[in-house]
Structure 1
Amino acid sequence: MYLTKSDIENLERKKRLNIINSVSGIKPANLIGTKSKDGQTNVAIFSSVFHLGSDPALLGFITRPTGEVPRHTYENLKETGFYTINHVPTTIADKAHYTSAKVDREVSEFERCGLTEEYLNGFHAPFVKESSLKIGLSFQEELPIKINGTIMIIGQIEELIIPDEAVDEKGYIDLSLYNTAGISGLNTYYSLQPVASFPYARPSEIPDFGA
């Protein structure tokens, strides 16, 4: 298949959406948990979480335009300043997937999708109990992306819960030990297995690959 910009623009809408959502490869599957000031909880799956820096420890994610469609995750984290990011194990991929359904604000996806709210160390936003790696964040900044109306949300890590056995002496995390899932496109889930681990790349240490 060869597609030009014009070809892409002229594809049937759903086919274009599926192709473009898949070309970036396997993305992290995360559940973002929030709670409004009046106590209404929300959890939704996102595949756009990314690293922004380690000092301070920052993570970003992309949320869709707010407009006519309610964005409860965005509204809650802006209102309270706190949210959680929870890795999705393959064992709950089905439950995590259905949190993307647009339910009414008064309906908690935790209850509707069979997930369990967990509150740790007095943190305001709920963690997902079924997740092994959980991150509590404080909202720091939002950056509007003008070209398509999406918003980059930047948060600072306040709480980090990782299984001890998943972290080696250098701080590397083995995601395969607790069956973290990845997402391709909008609805295909993958299990992750390590392929190799390499040292920090220095010019003097590049192997001779016979180029």
Structure 2
Amino acid sequence: MRQFLIEEIKSWERFYRANFINCLTGFKPVSLIGSISSTGVPNLSVVSSIVHLGADPALIGYINRPVAAAPDTITNIEQTKSYTINHIQESFLHEAHQCSAKYLPDVNEFEVSKLTEWYEEGIVAPFVKEAAVRYEMELVEIAPIQYNSTFFVIGQLKSVFLDEAIVGVDGFLDLSAAGSIVSIGLDGYAKAEMITRLPYAKP
């Protein structure tokens, strides 16, 4: 096994370095965040940094890139306080990946990706109709991370849409049965396969 020192890593070509570092954290959940601007332009963005922050209150966070690189999603969320998170399945993977492109603010990513814009009564932000697991979020806090100019966006869960068949008797969600995929690095996608569930660990 070879040791890679950060001094060497920093000397690598930009995209080679980015791929290497992005893959280190392993497989991650990957979803589409749906939002809408104050002028009514829908937006979709691919996010693989979504994390569970707590169940009561039900909080979920994600990392938003610097505003200069990815301004639309965070601006929309700031303005409307509403957004959705939609799991990606293999059946629309290519369409979802297209939403990682940098479009101008007046472009509707649903239209360019050929995904279906879907609204539920009383919810401002759009859902992805094709997604087997989708949920509504309300903004709680946007915490700036000064060291690299990113933002930790924290939201509270408001409602969930999914097939009850994937919900176990103890509330466990069988996301592999739902077809939710995972990502690795910047552009790698993989199927998530359940291995087992283990009992609660005790000393």
| TM-score bracket for this pair, using the shorter chain length | over 0.9
In structure 2, distance between residues paired with 1:13 and 1:57:
37
1:70 Cα deviation (Å)? 4.9
Equivalenced residue count is: 202
Identity in percent: 38
In structure 1, distance between residues paired with 2:147 and 2:70:
20
Partner of 1:71: 71
Partner of 1:48: 49
In structure 1, distance between residues paired with 2:70 and 2:171:
39
The answer on 1:140 being equivalent to 2:140 is yes
Report the TM-score, using the length of structure 1 for normalisation.
Answer: 0.93
Report the TM-score, using the length of structure 2 for normalisation.
Answer: 0.97
SS at match of 1:100: coil
Partners of 2:115 and 2:129 within 8 A in 1? yes
Aligned CA RMSD, in angstroms, stands at 1.0
- Matched AA of 1:60: G
1:90 Cα deviation (Å)? 1.3
Q: Which moved more, 1:46-55 or 1:142-151?
A: 142-151
Change (3 A) 1:81 1:165: same
Partner of 2:108: 108
Partner of 2:168: 168
Q: Which runs of 5+ in 1 are unaligned?
A: 204-211
Asked which structure has the greater CA Rg, the reply is 1
Partner of 1:18: 19
1:163 Cα deviation (Å)? 1.1
Partner of 1:34: 35
The answer on 1:158 being equivalent to 2:153 is no
1:2 Cα deviation (Å)? 2.5
The answer on 1:126 being equivalent to 2:142 is no
**Divergent runs of 4+, >2 A:** none
In structure 2, distance between residues paired with 1:121 and 1:181:
28
- Matched AA of 1:124: V
In structure 2, distance between residues paired with 1:21 and 1:104:
25
The answer on 1:199 being equivalent to 2:199 is yes
SS at match of 2:92: helix
1:155 Cα deviation (Å)? 0.2
1:120 Cα deviation (Å)? 1.2
